[in-house]
Structure 1
Amino acid sequence: MFEMTDEEKAALDRLLIHARGDTGQSRRVADFLLAWWNAEECGGFDIAATWGLDANIAADVVIVFALAVRAGGYPDNLGYGPQFESIVRDWRPGLMTQ
């Protein structure tokens, strides 16, 4: 079974909190997370969007990107399905009816 490091879990948890906000940074974080969740339906992620993030948030994005690569799977495989579904409801509500 795959296990996240404490650093990876903390970074992902912080990004999930940021994605629940209603700021431009929240939108960028949500876009990043949803690209991992399902890029085909939720949209990809423009790496230049990180330029609009605070340094600490961008550092968490880097950690979570490495986590996604290392895990070789989707966030629901790590037990984060409900949290990502919540982000879809907040940022891609049109996908909830599909």
Structure 2
Amino acid sequence: MNDGPFSKDAAGKSLDRLIDIARSDTGQARRVANFLLAWWNGEDCGHFPVADLFGVDATIATHITTIIGFLGQHEGAIYPDAFGRKAEMIELVGRWRDLGAG
């Protein structure tokens, strides 16, 4: 599973691109953040509405489906920290979610 469109390498590259997009301030960034944060911790960070794919361009949708394809090849859970991206995900939680409010 080291080669092909759903390899760990391909998923890691897609994850890096999606993180970069989620760090920006656009409608697409919000949708990408929704996807990444739902993967990270959907229970606390919210889930990803599939209809959000309608609001991103084809390249972004391909990055999302690359990650989903990678995840679908594995038994058990794999999260962004398996790619060494824990700090980036914590940053996105701080940027897009106010989990301490209430």
TM-score range, shorter chain: 0.7 to 0.9
- RMSD of aligned residue pairs (Cα, Å): 2.0
Q: Distance in 1 between matches of 2:35 and 2:86?
A: 15
Q: SS at the partner of 2:48? A: coil
- The runs of 5 or more residues in structure 2 that have no matched partner are none
State the number of aligned residues.
95
| 1:50 to partner: Cα distance | 0.4
Say which is worse superposed, 16-25 or 73-82, in terms of deviation. 73-82
Match of 1:41 in 2: 44
| 1:80 to partner: Cα distance | 1.2
Q: SS at the partner of 2:78? A: coil
| 1:46 to partner: Cα distance | 0.4
Match of 2:81 in 1: 76
Runs of 4+ that moved beyond 4 A? none
Among candidates 17, 20, 25, match of residue 17 of structure 1: 20
Match of 2:99 in 1: 95
Residue 27 of structure 1 pairs with residue 34 of structure 2: no
- The runs of 5 or more residues in structure 1 that have no matched partner are none
Q: SS at the partner of 1:95? A: coil
Q: Distance in 1 between matches of 2:85 and 2:51?
A: 26
| 1:96 to partner: Cα distance | 5.2
The two structures have a TM-score, normalised by structure 1, of 0.85
Q: Percent identity?
A: 43
Q: Does the aligned pair in 1 maintain the 2:18–2:63 contact within 8 Å? A: yes
Distance change >3 Å, CA 96–CA 16, structure 1 → 2: farther
